[in-house]
Structure 1
């Protein structure tokens, strides 16, 4: 019997297959594309290797791509037909149970099975990583924090994957609102491994949640060679870079990064980031019609069937941005029919019914200028929008849509409350103060509006943060239109100024 690099027993694997498996896990934790090749190599060496088949299934099931899920089902069921499950050890049987649940579309049960597994095997890094991603896909902030936190004491700082666990834990801490602790843990994760892109991601989420956008730009600029290329996560980190630039009022920088890095994306993750960025510009009246057209084209195949409601929202954003209201209507009608069908245990069906459909309807209503409908649809679910996945930063697109429609519909009492919530959470966010100015203008208090607008301009220039000694001089973005060239350009921290 072989063992993985954490000392956990694995049946059915020769020594060479085990080495490929260990390398695949390392690539997985670093979000490197090489994970697929190493996983395939492990199975080529030992086709009946249970943990190799489990790893291959997770890699496909966690992409939120319907085609990948179908491929996972075909491959994993073929493995099960060949396998003698009675000969698997308890840990392997627990993984098989988790994969079965995911194949049935039951993300919550899959996540629960993995949580039970890590009680007995806290050093099973694949169970922790897969469970962490499931917590993200289902928007479970508590488990994003506690799944990793509950295992950490079984690890030691000299363990090869300890730093990556800290990166996961930092993200869970951030999503659960522990910003100081998240920053501390995330910085330590990246100190232990500078190429821990999930740790970098956790730190920039923490800065985003506190409105510390210049700290975020400074941090990403300083580490650009480590995160900006070479992984299947770099586009998402560039998206965070753009959120900071939006707060600084640098729309030209944002569109340059979009064109260099995000345009031409094909995976749901990449399309989602592009849509989420362009929608923020759309809410502020910025005409991005040409960029929306290409994005709408790319979404059509990806959302041809119901699979993940969070993706549906971003597809509808793209259709609305491109002026393709008919395409948005057809997607919504298809999801309405899907949600009416009995699908016991299918997590996405519940996500679609409870959150996905009302959000998609609201986005379409926004495109048509029916802002009263947007408010009526989004206000009742604003505190449970997490239940269809994503992060606080990603779901802020929904909250901003609600606020913008409240302002445009003249629902000033509601808008006042929403702006007050935002300012008191992130007082150094220029966006929040600009909305305060819009609200004051709508109420006829033009002096207060001018004061708020001036304060927003001041913040965009100085980014008053909890630590007044922290300042950033961000670099210029890549400016080429070619996506690969943009990634190459991003490796060089070319000069620029605030």
Structure 2
């Protein structure tokens, strides 16, 4: 048994596999483009490396593409066989595989809970903590993220191998609850301890964006450019934040430049890249900016992805791209897909039924009076779509636009009231969990 990859116990006997796995876990933490290659090197050195197989399974699921669910299930099967070949594997491996099983079955929330429970006595073990943090981000469980990072903070010290990366996750949980001063301080310390911590750098950028401090936000991102520009496609997301800050300042030419060169430099179909691009072009459209032919690239990819409802958050952005160019047939396909999704099982079926379908109708301009009557409930439930507060602002703006289009001044007032109430409730819930972070 080996203790490696930020204090994870594995059953491998290969030193080469362990070295490669350490690089893979560090790459995961740093959003490195070399992570996949390091994971592959691990499995070349030891095809039965259980933790690497589990990480491969989670990585496929987090990409939220229907065809990759099969790949994740295959990784799960391989991990189970590998454990059987090694007398059941270590307890850490068993927990990872047990959690992956829930995720493959469609419950990210259950998977995150299993990781928490399995590592309850060692909450700062980085890999399971980071995976659960990512899963909760995708299902909009900000309270769970902060609860988990607070447990880490109970045992945190600068001597931990992943000290900076752990702080970066904690900073993000604080920010999502509106604890901006604490989030900024913790995020800055995270980056100071670990310059590769793009997530901590990202958390601080959220603080400035949510407070409307565009000058500080732009300065922070430009100062950290040497770090985040080396990331994988997370660099596109960081550029998206930079573009939003410039958009708030009304610098539309700069926003379009950042879009072309940094937000959408490649025609990828990763749902996160699409979400960056779609929400930014949509905002530009709403402010009367001519975005030229930029929707065409997104619409082409959206048409290919219109039948994939693996993640409702992704489907709603796909829908917005097609609605923007008046692709009615594609819009109808997505609506039917979400209707089918809502009758299924798993976390995303509930999201589709309670939030996805009414939001989809609003984005597509097909909202009914009944949809507009349930604005309060829709806004309160919106976090379950996943993503961050900043990302969900796109949906909030779409709802506000629908209310304004239909002359619903009372609805607009309710949107503002609910948004303010959500902010207060987040702070109240978070205050229960707020740790002595500083």
Give the TM-score normalised by structure 2: 0.90
Distance of 1:246 and 1:193 partners within structure 2: 30
Task: Name the SS of the counterpart of 1:119 in structure 2.
Answer: coil
2:60 is equivalent to residue 60 of structure 1: yes
Distance of 1:338 and 1:199 partners within structure 2: 34
Q: Match of 2:311?
A: 308
Which piece of structure 1 moves more, 227-236 or 75-84?
A: 75-84
What pairs up with 1:218-257 in 2 under 5 angstroms? 218-257=219-258
Distance of 1:136 and 1:422 partners within structure 2: 20
Which piece of structure 1 moves more, 9-18 or 194-203?
A: 9-18
Query: Can you give the 5+ residue segments of structure 1 that lack an aligned partner in the other structure?
Result: 427-498
The structural deviation recorded for 1:5 is: 4.5
Distance of 1:184 and 1:423 partners within structure 2: 24
Task: Name the SS of the counterpart of 1:292 in structure 2.
Answer: helix
Q: Match of 1:464?
A: none
Q: Match of 1:117?
A: 118
Distance of 1:193 and 1:24 partners within structure 2: 16
Q: Does the 8 A contact of 1:94 with 1:113 survive in 2?
A: yes
2:322 is equivalent to residue 325 of structure 1: no
What pairs up with 1:184-195 in 2 under 5 angstroms? 184-195=185-196
Distance of 1:196 and 1:8 partners within structure 2: 20
Counterpart selection for 1:280 from 276, 280, 283: 283
Distance of 1:100 and 1:420 partners within structure 2: 40
What pairs up with 1:27-38 in 2 under 5 angstroms? 27-38=27-38
Task: Name the SS of the counterpart of 1:139 in structure 2.
Answer: coil
The structural deviation recorded for 1:408 is: 2.9
RMSD of aligned Cα (Å): 2.3
Distance of 1:405 and 1:118 partners within structure 2: 45
| 1:432-451 Cα distance to aligned partner (Å, 9 max, x none) | xxxxxxxxxxxxxxxxxxxx
2:170 is equivalent to residue 169 of structure 1: yes
The structural deviation recorded for 1:131 is: 0.3
| 1:284-335 Cα distance to aligned partner (Å, 9 max, x none) | 3434362112101112333433200000110011001111122111111122
2:352 is equivalent to residue 381 of structure 1: no
Paired residues, what number? 420
* 1:256–1:8 distance in 2 versus 1, CA, 3 Å: closer
The structural deviation recorded for 1:347 is: 1.0
The structural deviation recorded for 1:424 is: 11
The structural deviation recorded for 1:421 is: 7.2
| 1:256-291 Cα distance to aligned partner (Å, 9 max, x none) | 111112332331111111011112123334343621
Distance of 1:328 and 1:272 partners within structure 2: 16
* 1:86–1:356 distance in 2 versus 1, CA, 3 Å: farther
Counterpart selection for 1:393 from 374, 381, 390: 390
Task: Name the SS of the counterpart of 1:154 in structure 2.
Answer: coil
What pairs up with 1:3-402 in 2 under 5 angstroms? 3-84=3-84, 87-263=88-264, 264-288=267-291, 290-341=293-344, 343=345, 346-365=346-365, 375-376=372-373, 378-402=375-399
Task: Name the SS of the counterpart of 2:282 in structure 1.
Answer: helix
Q: Does the 8 A contact of 1:170 with 1:202 survive in 2?
A: yes
The structural deviation recorded for 1:165 is: 0.6
Q: Match of 2:431?
A: none
Task: Name the SS of the counterpart of 2:119 in structure 1.
Answer: helix
| 1:133-153 Cα distance to aligned partner (Å, 9 max, x none) | 011001011111121120223
Task: Name the SS of the counterpart of 2:293 in structure 1.
Answer: helix
Distance of 1:71 and 1:5 partners within structure 2: 24
Q: Does the 8 A contact of 1:363 with 1:374 survive in 2?
A: no
The structural deviation recorded for 1:423 is: 9.0
| Bigger radius of gyration | 1
* 1:247–1:423 distance in 2 versus 1, CA, 3 Å: farther
Task: Name the SS of the counterpart of 1:3 in structure 2.
Answer: strand
| 1:223-258 Cα distance to aligned partner (Å, 9 max, x none) | 222212442310001111111111101111111111
* 1:378–1:418 distance in 2 versus 1, CA, 3 Å: closer
Distance of 2:420 and 2:156 partners within structure 1: 40
| 1:88-138 Cα distance to aligned partner (Å, 9 max, x none) | 222221111100111111111101101112312223211000000011001
Q: Does the 8 A contact of 1:283 with 1:401 survive in 2?
A: no
The structural deviation recorded for 1:67 is: 2.6
Task: Name the SS of the counterpart of 1:334 in structure 2.
Answer: helix
Give the TM-score normalised by structure 1: 0.79
Distance of 1:123 and 1:77 partners within structure 2: 27
Distance of 2:319 and 2:36 partners within structure 1: 31
Task: Name the SS of the counterpart of 1:306 in structure 2.
Answer: coil
Task: Name the SS of the counterpart of 2:380 in structure 1.
Answer: coil
Distance of 2:415 and 2:2 partners within structure 1: 57
Distance of 1:314 and 1:136 partners within structure 2: 17
